[in-house]
Amino acid sequence: MRTAIEGARKGAPPAEVAPQRASSEPLLAEVVRWLDDAKAEKVVTIDLKGKSSLGDFMVIATGRSDRHVGAIAEQLRKHLKENGVANVRVEGLETCDWALIDAGDILVHVFRAEVRDFYNLEKMWSAARPGEQTSH
């Protein structure tokens, strides 16, 4: 009787092992804490796993003014860099109606209230895909 190891030695290719990615959940908790420290309002976290290859999580927050949006984005960029997150990209600082902080597996959108209402990302990304069940 042959064992599985002997079978593998007889020319069967080894099973490929997918590389393990570090969980983004500990960083997500820090991002939410940093947003709270910066006085961001109405912070919402959306789980994107299985919905998009953009990342694992989207965080949406509101700033009280364009200056506040810019300050939140800059503070978040600083914290991410200090905590070893490489290649953080920030967009939207020209007008600060809306800023996107791309931290790899976590995307953070900071809006002025009117702009957040206009884009309504929560509704778009929280909706179930066709054929998915939603819990009530």
- Answer whether residue 106 is part of any domain: yes
Amino acid residing at 127: A
Per-residue pLDDT reduced to its tens digit, 71-127: 999 999 999 999 999 899 999 999 999 999 999 999 999 999 999 999 999 888 776
pLDDT surpasses 80 at 68: yes
pLDDT band at 51 (very low <50, low <70, confident <90, very high): confident
- Answer whether residue 105 is part of any domain: yes
Look at residue 55 in the predicted model and tell me its pLDDT.
Answer: 87
Consecutive H or E run containing 101: strand 98-102
Residue 71 sits at φ, ψ, to 5 deg, of -65, -40
Cα torsion 110, 63, 73, 31: sign: negative
- Answer whether residue 81 is part of any domain: yes
Longest dimension (CA), the chain: 74
- Answer whether residue 91 is part of any domain: yes
State the CATH number of the domain containing residue 110.
3.30.460.10
Total tally of structural domains belonging to the chain: 1
- Answer whether residue 14 is part of any domain: no
- Answer whether residue 87 is part of any domain: yes
- Answer whether residue 89 is part of any domain: yes
Specify the pTM: 0.76
Distance CA 128, CA 12 (A): 41
Strands 106-112 and 89-91: unpaired
> The domain containing residue 31 runs over which residues?
25-119
68 and 110 Cβ atoms separated by less than 8 Å: no
Distance CA 88, CA 101 (A): 7
Q: Give which of 74, 41, 58 is closest to 109, Cα–Cα.
A: 58
- Answer whether residue 135 is part of any domain: no
Strand-pairing partners, residue 61, are 110
